[in-house]
């Protein structure tokens, strides 16, 4: 099993520098699994597809960053990607599923239900156009425990959907087993430095506080993450922040160093 780390979208919030969007790809014997899907190629070609968010995210026309093209760079074809496990359904994490219509898409059942709600919050938070092609949804309710966290779902023996709600009501982290350690992709659950505990600076610190579905759940999730990050057998990585030391190397290191 090989784990690749890709930056699938460079976001450029006003006065906020450049912010990565990090996905993991696990290449196993008989399955290839992506943790989050980024944007599809079509969004890089036409950013109006993501509505008002384009004014905040300010994507460049870089279709080579789309997951389907990142996979091609390591010799993985579109049809080889069997499973996508989503932290949540915000566009920059989930819209890319349209490039993989045959993959099974794992997500928390709570998150999927929230995205289908017609509430004002859902309309602002989710872009339903990316979910209308008949994805092979695999909603998870979570009845298992992982490292003391209840409500988890084992997608495989080595990939676990871990509820970390607050940013959205069904937001999850995804834990990937690496030998006797775990790599936990924490999505948008928090951006602080897991080693120092320092709060994230602008723009992520602001985003963390402003964009949350439930503040009490978010506070509870942060306590869970503080406990997990202190474990010697857990490394964490979040969607939009390169930590001081990456737990695994970025698959496109050449391109990253040239940016
Ligand atoms: Zn989000």
- Domains for the chain: give ranges and CATH numbers: 2-242 (3.60.15.10)
Question: How far is residue 173 from each of residues 24, 77, 187, 227, measured CA to CA in Å?
Answer: 12, 26, 6, 14
Q: Report, as ranges of residue numbers, the positions in the chain whose pLDDT lies below 70.
A: 193-202, 252-259
- pLDDT at residue 196, rounded to an integer: 63
pLDDT of residue 258: 33
pLDDT > 90: percent of the chain: 71
CA of 257 to the centre of ligand 1 (A): 26
Q: Write the pLDDT tens digit of every residue in 168-222.
A: 999 999 999 998 999 999 999 988 766 666 666 667 777 777 778 888 999 999 9
Task: Tell me, in angstroms, the distance from the centre of ligand 1 to residue 29's CA.
Answer: 31
Q: What is the pLDDT of residue 106?
A: 98
Cα separations (Å) of 236 from 67, 112, 232? 21, 24, 11
**What is the 254 CA–ligand 1 centroid distance (Å)?**
27
Distance from residue 109's CA to the centre of ligand 1 (Å): 17
Distance 171 CA to ligand 1 centre (A): 8
Nearest C-alpha neighbor of 207 from the set 161, 237, 241:
241
Q: What spacing in Å lies between the alpha carbon of 90 and ligand 1's midpoint?
A: 5
């Amino acid at each position: 099993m090989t784990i690749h780390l890709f930056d699938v979208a460079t976001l450029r919030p006003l006065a906020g520098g450049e912010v990565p969007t990090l996905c993991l790809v696990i290449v196993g014997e008989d399955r290839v699994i992506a943790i989050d899907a980024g944007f599809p190629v079509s969004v890089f070609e036409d950013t109006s597809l993501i509505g008002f968010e384009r004014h905040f995210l300010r994507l460049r026309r870089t279709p080579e960053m789309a997951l389907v093209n990142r996979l091609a760079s390591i010799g993985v074809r579109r049809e080889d990607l069997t499973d996508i496990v989503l932290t949540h359904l915000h566009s920059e994490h989930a819209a890319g599923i349209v490039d993989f219509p045959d993959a099974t898409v794992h997500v928390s059942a709570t998150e999927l239900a929230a995205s289908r709600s017609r509430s004002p919050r859902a309309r602002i938070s989710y872009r339903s156009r990316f979910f209308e092609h008949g994805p092979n949804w695999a909603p998870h309710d979570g009845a298992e425990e992982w490292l003391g966290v209840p409500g988890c779902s084992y997608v495989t023996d080595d990939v676990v959907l871990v509820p970390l709600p607050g940013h959205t009501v069904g937001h999850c982290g995804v834990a990937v087993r690496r030998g006797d350690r775990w790599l936990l992709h924490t999505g948008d659950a928090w951006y602080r430095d897991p080693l120092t505990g320092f709060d994230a600076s602008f723009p992520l610190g602001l985003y963390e506080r402003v964009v949350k579905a439930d503040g009490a759940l978010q506070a509870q999730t942060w306590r869970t993450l503080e406990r997990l990050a202190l474990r010697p057998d857990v490394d964490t990585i979040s969607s939009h922040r390169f930590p001081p030391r990456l737990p695994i190397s970025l698959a496109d290191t050449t391109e990253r160093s040239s940016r």
